[in-house]
Every structure is written in structure tokens, then in C-alpha cells.
């Protein structure tokens, strides 16, 4: 996929490139590329999609009777992120987050959230050069409710499958 560009009078050029390696060379227009090369190089473009949020799921609900639960946050990041910023706020605009922490893993438990509606997102951070600001994940919401009577547990599988009485 060889491409040639004339860059007369320019100090830089911007090109759209899919992930992978790109080899380049710069030479004067009066000479062939074999005769006189000014500069050569290679750059690698890596995909850096925003994190995918897993837990708490979108619009999840947590219930407690006396002690608020510890909420586990789990997401799928990307291979080149060096760390992630987890933010939890009480508003969908994520202004003035109640919890904000930079972590190197893709999971964290937070014990200090009280009853209410909560919103969360994750922003990756990179050690390498990034052309644009890192893209944060979408924002998920969940709620924590205090109840005097907790809901009955739900069976997650039919009884006939796991009948071990005998």
C-alpha cells in the first residue's frame, strides 16, 4: 500500500492510518527515492478503544439492611493503557465526583457509597504519545437502596438441573 505525497512548503502532514506499522521516507522531488533520502522511519499505530464497563451493570440495583455494600467496579480496558481513572458521582454530568482514584488494574471495590443514584465511568491513561485526549468510557448508572425488608433471592437456574437430593 505505497502512497506518495508532495509536501512542498509544509513542516508536517496528517494522515489517517489504521492500526499497524507504517514505514516512511523523505527525499527531494528532483531526485529519485533511491538516490538521496533525507530521512526514514517507522511508526506503529495501536488501537486504543475506550474501556467497556462490566460491573456494576447499567441501571443495576443494590439493596442493604444495615450496612451499605462494598461495590465492585469491573471494566475491560485496552492493551496499551498504563492506568485508569475511576470516577463515581451522584450526577450524570460527573461533576464533583464523590470517588476518584487512579488504578493500574481493571477492577476496584469501593466500600464508602451510601444510598442513592450513582454514575460511574473510567478514563484510560497512556505513557505513549496520544494524538487526542483519552476517550472515557460511557457512563453507567446504578442505585443503592436501604430497605427494612430485603427482596427474596431469585433462582438463577431451573431446579430440575441441579437436583442433588439423592
On whether the CB atoms of residues 19 and 49 are closer than 8 A, the answer is no
Q: What is the pTM of this model?
A: 0.69
Q: Are strands 140-146 and 60-64 parallel, antiparallel or unpaired?
A: parallel
What SS3 state is found at 36? coil
> CA–CA separation, 134 vs 59, rounded Å?
25
pLDDT at 91: 95
Instruction: State mean pLDDT over 49-60.
Output: 93
Write out pLDDT tens, residues 2-28: 777 777 777 777 777 787 888 887 777
Amino acid at each position: 500500500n505505497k502512497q506518495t505525497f508532495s509536501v512542498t512548503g509544509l513542516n508536517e502532514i496528517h494522515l489517517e492510518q489504521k492500526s499497524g506499522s507504517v514505514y516512511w521516507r523523505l527525499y527531494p522531488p528532483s531526485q529519485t527515492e533511491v538516490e538521496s533520502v533525507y530521512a526514514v522511519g517507522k511508526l506503529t499505530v495501536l488501537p486504543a478503544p475506550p474501556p467497556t464497563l462490566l460491573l456494576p451493570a447499567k441501571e443495576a440495583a443494590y439493596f442493604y439492611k444495615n450496612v451499605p455494600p462494598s461495590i465492585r467496579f469491573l471494566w475491560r480496558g485496552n492493551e496499551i493503557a498504563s492506568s485508569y481513572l475511576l470516577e463515581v458521582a451522584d450526577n450524570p454530568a460527573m461533576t464533583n465526583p464523590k470517588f476518584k482514584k487512579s488504578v493500574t488494574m481493571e477492577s476496584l471495590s469501593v466500600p464508602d457509597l451510601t444510598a442513592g443514584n450513582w454514575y460511574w465511568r473510567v478514563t484510560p491513561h497512556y505513557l505513549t504519545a496520544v494524538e487526542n485526549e483519552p476517550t472515557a468510557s460511557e457512563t453507567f448508572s446504578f442505585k443503592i437502596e436501604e430497605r427494612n425488608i430485603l427482596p427474596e433471592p431469585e433462582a438463577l437456574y431451573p431446579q430440575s438441573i441441579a437436583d442433588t437430593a439423592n
